[in-house]
Structures are given as C-alpha cells and as structure tokens.
Amino acid sequence: MAGERTVLVVGGGISGITAAVEAAEVGCKVILVERLPYLGGRVARMNKYFPKLCPPNCGLEINFKRIRKNTDVTVYTLASVENVSGAPGAYTATIKILPRYVEDHSSTSKCVEDCPVDIPNEFNYGMDMTKAVRLPYEMAYPMNLVADAEALKKSVGSVGFNSFVESLESKGIRLDLEAKPEILTVQVSSIVWATGWVPYDATKLDRLGFGKYPNVITNVMMERLAAPNGPTCGEIVRPSDGKKVYNLAFVQCAGSRDENHLPYCSSICCLASLKQATYLRDYNPDAEAHIFYIDLRAYGRFEYFFDRVRNDEKIHLTKGKIVNVYEDPVTKDIIVEGEDILSGARIRSTFDMVVLATGMQPTTSIEKAPAPGVEYDDYGFIVSDTGIHAAGVSKRPMDVGTCLQDSTGAALKALQDTVGR
C-alpha cells in the first residue's frame, strides 16, 4: 500500500501527531503508527501543561480534529514498526498491528462497566484498576474499546463472563480473544521517528524509597493524581490511606545528572515540579510544598512562571541534595534526609507525601529504531538527521511548545525526501 510522497511517522505523541498533520496538510499521504491503543503520548496523561496551565485536551483535540478531517492520514494504533529497509525517497517498512480483541461500533465506555475482570490501569501508571474491556480514557483517539485478551481468558466460561459477553453482543460489540496480529508492508518515501520518552525507572533509585513506600510517588504519577479523570478524580491524597495532603516534598534530579543513572539534565523536571506545586496549592490552600533542588532551572522562556510560583509563601525552595527517603512505619509519613547546600546544615524533614522528579529517558535508549543509518548519542537520543528524521523528545528532552516547532521542522525535512526522487 501507499508509495510515492508518503511519510511514515512512528510514534503518536504530540511530536508524531504534529509531524503527521503538517505533512498531510501540504498534500502528502501519511501513515501514523502508535504502539498504544490511543494517540497523545505522555501529554494525554497530564493534568495541565505549562505555560498556560490548560488541560492537555485543549491542544490534543485540535490535532485529532485535523487528523479526522484529513483523509490522507491513516492511523494505526497498537502498532509498531518491525523493520525498515531502503533509503530516503524509497523505504520499505513492515508494521505489526496487534488486535484490539473487540469489534466496537458503539464507542461508549458505559457498556463495559459490568466487565467482570479488572486490570491495573496503565493510563494512571498503575495507581488504580480498570476494566479488561475498556475505552483507554474519556477523550481517547480513536474512540474505540480495547480488550486485554490474556486477562479475560482466565475468566472465560464463568457466569459473569458469559453474561458480560451477552450484554456486549446485545449492543453490537463482539469480543474475539483469538484475534491475530496483522503484518503490513508499506512503501514510503520518508520516515519521521517520534517515539518520545519513558520516565526513568524510580525503583532503581535505592535510597529514595519508590516502590517500597506507597507515599513516595513520581512526577508522572503526580500528574495523574491531580487530574480530574485520574485515580482520585483530582483529590491530592496519600496512596496509603487517602488522607488529604498538607505537606508535600519534591525531590529534584531524582536519578538525573547522576553518572549511575541519567547523567544529563532533562530540563523539564524543575518546571514540572513548580507546576505541580501549584496543583497542590490550588487543591488545598492550607497545604505547603517544599522543593529540594540542586539547581532550579526555568528552562526556555518560563522565568515569569518561576517567579509566580516562588512568590507563593507556602512554596518553599531549598537548595539541598536529598540522599535518603524513608517511611515512618506507624504514620506512613515520609522522612527526607540530606544536606542544605547553602548553609551546610543537615536536612531531616517529615512530609505527608514525596514526589520524585525523575527525568525523561529516550525510548530509543531501550529500543533502537529498526532502521538503517540511525545514530545515537551516549544516552540513546537520536543525533543523525539524514535518512530517518527524529522529532521531539526522541532527539533531546523538550517541552511541548518546542516539540511542535521541532516536529514541524522534521515534517519539512521528510517532505524534502519526497520531492524530486
């Protein structure tokens, strides 16, 4: 399928979506491949995003509309690229598309409420459970159900399962737990690689307590905790006991600028914590936030945002390196220990909850692009810019605004491959 003047975009986050619509709107055919069952990437899972602090759907919905009305964009979700061969102007790519295991023409989440099988909710970073047949989230694109076949197979034949299947069928929805993946081979003239990032694995930070103590969470989890469609419907409460948070600490550079973990600065985490401190203050005006940092950087043009946050007298900024985080086993409070870098005094403070500001690790550091000629830096970010064109955080850590500019540039580079060949 496809051929001349076709751009393959791999990764359906804000960068991939942008590259796809920009290329399509100047007349290219675009194939957009996303591994998850929905588009939007990490941005879809945010509560609000700076600088305007609007909900992610503001920006995403406009782009979904652009995709919906452009017949030149073909979207494959649950899909990944297995192999690429060829050269700029003439690539052949093999795409594997996993089944959704459910034929859904109803587009409604209501009909799955009686699904008898619950699974950890990946959208909320496992902080709650969801149904094994589900709409990934309320604003998902595509607005289609997806099923976890492995989880469902365990309850096949039970009374609850049979009546659930019957109720689905009465609404025109059919489960097919034996559906097989599809393999597609496409000819394209150029490729944009926009596979983004994963949060650094905080369980590797032995002394910072993540995975051991429920009231130590990460910054991406904090986005979900504060979100109205998150596990607590936006209540910023402790995972251990549901108690409202009054006293919250942010530990900056959790694993970042550390040779044993991520040696580089992700540049976004400071602004993310400043933003998240405002979530707490808006939710609970009596609450206080403490940010422990090595260097606090308002990367880009966000100095005014930094000023706004630091003028709040209930947001405290301490230049201090936190080296130990542990739990009071009785209260489940979290104690942080370290050193105040300016005064040299020892820090030992107790909080209701602690957020670890972990960095952004390129997906390509874990899984390289199966394509010729792609070069990486020491951390796994893509550095080559001929042949496959990287876009967004697959190149370096960046905020959404910069991703939009970068991906538009990547789309232009991709278009250059499609002309005159």
Ligand X SMILES: Cc1cc2nc3c(=O)[nH]c(=O)nc-3n(C[C@H](O)[C@H](O)[C@H](O)COP(=O)(O)OP(=O)(O)OC[C@H]3O[C@@H](n4cnc5c(N)ncnc54)[C@H](O)[C@@H]3O)c2cc1C
Whether residue 187 contacts residue 87, with contact meaning beta carbons closer than 8 Å, is answered with no
CB of 164 to ligand X, least distance (A): 29
Binders of ligand X in range 379-418 (CB under 6 A)? 392-393, 398-401, 403
Binders of ligand X in range 55-84 (CB under 6 A)? 80
CB of 279 to ligand X, least distance (A): 11
* Residue 363 token pair: 């997906």
Q: Given strand 288-293, what is the order of strands in its sheet?
A: 216-218, 353-358, 247-254, 288-293, 315-327, 334-340, 346-351
- What is the Cβ-side half-sphere exposure of residue 50, based on CA atoms within 13 angstroms? 26
Q: Which residue number, 347 or 414, has a Cβ lying nearer to ligand X? A: 414
Q: Which residue number, 398 or 414, has a Cβ lying nearer to ligand X? A: 398
Residue 13 near ligand X by CB under 6 A:
yes
Residue 164 near ligand X by CB under 6 A:
no
Q: Which residue number, 196 or 338, has a Cβ lying nearer to ligand X? A: 196
Q: Name the one range near ligand X by CB under 6 A: 94-102, 194-202, 250-258, 325-333.
A: 194-202
* Residue 234 token pair: 């936006």
Residue 219 near ligand X by CB under 6 A:
yes
CB of 297 to ligand X, least distance (A): 14
CB atoms within 10 A of CB 67: 21
SS3 346: strand
DSSP 341-385: TTT-PEEEEEESEEEEEE-EEEGGGTS--SSTT--B-TTS-B---
**What is the distance between the terminal CA atoms of the chain, rounded to a whole angstrom?**
18
Which positions ≥6 away from 11 have C-beta within 8 Å? 33, 34, 35, 41, 193, 194, 195, 196, 363, 391, 392, 394
Tokens 């993540």: give the residue. Answer: 210
Q: Which residue number, 130 or 361, has a Cβ lying nearer to ligand X? A: 361
Q: Which residue number, 50 or 141, has a Cβ lying nearer to ligand X? A: 50
Helix %, strand %, coil % for the chain, to 5?
25, 30, 45
Binding string, residues 34-53; x marks residues near ligand X by CB under 6 A: xxx----xxx--x--xx---
Q: Which residue number, 41 or 136, has a Cβ lying nearer to ligand X? A: 41
Alpha helices, DSSP H, located in 219-264 = 219-226
Binders of ligand X in range 94-153 (CB under 6 A)? none
Residue 32 near ligand X by CB under 6 A:
no
CB of 41 to ligand X, least distance (A): 3
Q: Name the one range near ligand X by CB under 6 A: 19-27, 101-109, 217-225, 329-337.
A: 217-225
CB of 188 to ligand X, least distance (A): 15
Residue 279 near ligand X by CB under 6 A:
no
Backbone angles phi, psi at 299, to 5 degrees: -55, 145
Whether residue 129 contacts residue 119, with contact meaning beta carbons closer than 8 Å, is answered with yes
CB of 166 to ligand X, least distance (A): 34
| Residue in 7, 9, 12, 288 binding ligand X, rule: CB under 6 A | 12
- What is the Cβ-side half-sphere exposure of residue 67, based on CA atoms within 13 angstroms? 24
CB of 157 to ligand X, least distance (A): 34
| Residue in 23, 115, 289, 360 binding ligand X, rule: CB under 6 A | 360
User: Closest Cα partner for 144 from 47, 77, 244?
Assistant: 77
d(CA 374, CA 134): 37
Helix (H) or strand (E) holding 59: helix 56-68
Tell me how many residues contact ligand X (CB under 6 A): 37
Q: Name the one range near ligand X by CB under 6 A: 28-36, 132-140, 205-213, 373-381.
A: 28-36
Q: Which residue number, 115 or 205, has a Cβ lying nearer to ligand X? A: 205
Helices (H) and strands (E) in the chain, counts: 8, 23
Q: Which residue number, 270 or 415, has a Cβ lying nearer to ligand X? A: 270
CB of 331 to ligand X, least distance (A): 27
Q: Which residue number, 153 or 310, has a Cβ lying nearer to ligand X? A: 310
User: Closest Cα partner for 274 from 242, 243, 314, 315?
Assistant: 315
Q: Which residues in this chain contact ligand X in the complex, by CB under 6 A?
A: 10-16, 33-36, 41-43, 46, 49-50, 80, 194-197, 219-220, 223, 268, 272, 275, 360, 363, 392-393, 398-401, 403
